[in-house]
Amino acid sequence: MTSTRQPTGEFPAVDAPGIIAGGAASADAEYATREGADNPDTTVRDGRAPASYKVAPIIAVLVVSAFVMILNETLLSVALPTLMADLSITAVTAQWLSTGFMLTMAVVIPTTGFLMKRLSVRAVFITAMLLFLVGTAIAMLAPTFPVLLAARVVQAAGTAMVLPLLMTTILALVPITARGLVMGLVGVVISAAPALGPSISGFILQNWTWHYLFVMMLPIIVIALVIGLIFMRNYTEPEKVRLDVVSVILSAIGFGGVIYALASISQIVEGEARLVPLLVAAVGVISLAVFTARQVRMHATGKEPLLDLRPLKVRTFSVSVLVILLGFATMLGTVVALPLYMTGSLGMSTLDVGLTMLPGAAASGVLGPLVGTLYDRVGPRPIVVPGAALMALVSWLEVLLLDADSSQGLIIALNVPLGIGMAMVMTPLMALSLGSLPRTLYGHGSAILNTLQQLAGALGTAVFIALLTLGSVVAAESGASATIAQASGASWAFAFGGVMTTIAVVLGATLKSNPAEVEQAA
C-alpha cells in the first residue's frame, strides 16, 4: 500500500490557545495553505484556502457542542431514581429516557452521510444545534414523562448530526501533521464527557431539582450556536443526491430494533417479557441484513447509497473501529455499572458517586490532547496496545478487589488508570480509522463509526447491567446479603469488560505502527 497523502504546507495561525499553534509565515496574508479541504472554493490557488476561514473557532465550537451533547447522554444515569419519584414512573419506564435517546441516535446517524452531501455545512450545523437547543428547553420545562421523553428524542436528533460533522470537519480542514492533536480533543469528548455525566448530575441533584440538569446546558449551547453562526463556513458544495426512502426505513427498523433488544437484555435475564424483545431483535437483524445488501447493490449499480459501506473494506479502518467499539462498550458499561455498585453495595450518595467518578474522567480529558500529540510522532500501535492493556488490567483488578467493603479511594485508584487507558485507545484510533479513508468517504466513514459506537454503547450498558443483575440474583439465592450480592453482580459485569479489553489488546497489536495513510477499499 502506498500513501496518497501529500502534505501541502503550513496550517493557518489561530488565536485560540490549545487548538492549533503556529501558522503560515508568508508575507501573503490573504491566503494560508491547508491540506485536506474538499471544496474547490476553499482550495483555490493550488490548495491555498482563504485565510478568512478561521479553523480554530470552527473546531472549538464543534468540540464544545459535541462535549455537551455526549455529556447529556449519561447525565440522567444517576438521576433515574429522582425522576421515578418525581414523575411517578417505574424503573422500566424511566429507562426509556436513555433507550429512546439511543434509538433516535441509531436511526438518524446513518442518514448523516446523505445529509452532509445534500446540505451545506452551515445548514447541517444550524439544524443540529437548533434541534438540541429546542429539545433541551422542552426538557427543562417538562411537567410529565411523555414530554420529557419527546424532548430527549429531539435532543438525540441534534446530537446525531453534530458528531459526524465534527469528525468530517477535522478531516477536511486539519492537516495530517496536526490531526492527532485535534483528534485528542475529540477523544476528550468521546471518553471524558460520558464519565463526567454522573459527577455533574450528582452535584446538581444534591443541590437543585433535576430540571437544572438541562438548565446548565442551555447557555453553553446558545453561545456555541452564536459563535458558529459567525465563523462556520461551507467547505463543501451541496450535491443533488436522491434520498433512498427504502434504505431509511430499513435502517430505522434495523438499528432501532437491535438497540431496543439490547436495552431489554436485563428484562430478558429477569424473565420478564422475553418474547417481544426477541421478536424485535429478529426483525432488526433481518432488516439490517437487507439494508446492507441494498447499500452494496446500489453502489454496484452506480446509485448513491444512503450509507456507503466501502470503508468497512479498508482493513485499518475496520480493525481500528473494532478496537474503539470494544473500549467504548467497556467504558460506557463501567460508567453505568460502577455508580449502581457504589449506591447499592456501598451505600454512597449521588454526590459521593459523582465525586468518585470525577478523577477518572479528568485524567482521560487531560491526557487526550497529549496522546494526540504523541500519536503524531510515534503512530498508533505504541500507544493503543499499552492503553488497551491498562484497561484490561483495571477491569480484572475490579473483579478481584472490589467488594462490599471497598473504599472510595480504591475505586478512584482503579478508575483513574481506566480513564487514562481509554484516552490512549480512543485518540489514536479516531485519527487512524478515518484518516485511512479516501476523502470522498469521510462522511460515510464517520457515520459508520458513530452508528457502531451507539450499538457498542447500548451493548456495553445492557450487558453490564444484565450481568450485574444476574450475578446479584445468583449470590442472593446462595444466601448472600443484599450488599454482598450487589458487589458480586458488579464483579460479573467488570469481568465482561476484562474480556472485551483483552481482545482489544490482541487486535491492537495487529495495527500498523505508522500514522494513518489513505488505503483503497478492497
For the beta carbon of residue 253, count every other beta carbon within 10 angstroms.
Answer: 19
425: left (phi over 0), alpha (psi -120 to 50) or beta: alpha
Q: Which long-range contacts (CB under 8 A, 24 or more apart) does 91-94 make?
A: 92/267, 93/145, 94/145
The pLDDT value given to residue 27: 29
**460 — pLDDT class (breaks 50, 70, 90):** confident
The pLDDT value given to residue 417: 93
Res 486 pLDDT > 50 = yes
The pLDDT value given to residue 21: 29
Q: Which amino acid is at 427?
A: T
Comparing 47 with 43, which gets the higher pLDDT? 43
Comparing 481 with 95, which gets the higher pLDDT? 481
Coil, helix or strand at residue 50? strand
**521 — pLDDT class (breaks 50, 70, 90):** low
Res 45 pLDDT > 80 = no
The pLDDT value given to residue 44: 29
CATH number of 55-508: 1.20.1250.20
pTM, entire model: 0.76
Task: Give the Cα separation of 83 and 149 in Å (integer).
Answer: 12
Task: Give the Cα separation of 312 and 321 in Å (integer).
Answer: 9
- Average pLDDT of span 304-319: 87
Q: Note the pLDDT tens digit of each residue in 118-139.
A: 878 888 889 999 999 999 999 9
CB 260 within 8 A of CB 103: yes
In the chain, % of residues over pLDDT 90? 20
The pLDDT value given to residue 330: 92
Comparing 200 with 140, which gets the higher pLDDT? 140
Task: Give the Cα separation of 504 and 487 in Å (integer).
Answer: 26
Comparing 46 with 62, which gets the higher pLDDT? 62
- Average pLDDT of span 291-302: 89
The pLDDT value given to residue 516: 52
Q: Note the pLDDT tens digit of each residue in 66-86.
A: 888 888 877 777 787 788 888
The pLDDT value given to residue 198: 74
- Average pLDDT of span 242-248: 84
Res 37 pLDDT > 70 = no
CA angle 330, 332, 333 (to 5 degrees): 65
The pLDDT value given to residue 93: 77
Task: Give the Cα separation of 18 and 177 in Å (integer).
Answer: 15
- Average pLDDT of span 82-101: 80
Nearest CA to 489 among 270, 225, 250, 163?
270
The pLDDT value given to residue 155: 93
Q: Cell for 291? A: 439494508
Comparing 268 with 356, which gets the higher pLDDT? 356
Minimum mean pLDDT among 113-127, 244-258, 504-518: which range?
Answer: 504-518
CB 329 within 8 A of CB 194: no
The pLDDT value given to residue 175: 75
Coil, helix or strand at residue 48? strand
Q: Cell for 117? A: 452531501
CB 240 within 8 A of CB 391: no
Summary count for the chain: helices (H), strands (E): 20, 2
Task: Give the Cα separation of 441 and 432 in Å (integer).
Answer: 14
Res 395 pLDDT > 60 = yes
Which of 45-54, 342-351, 503-512 reaches the highest mean pLDDT? 503-512
Task: Give the Cα separation of 198 and 204 in Å (integer).
Answer: 10
The pLDDT value given to residue 68: 86
Q: Which amino acid is at 274?
A: R
The pLDDT value given to residue 9: 32
Q: Where are the domains of the chain?
A: 55-508
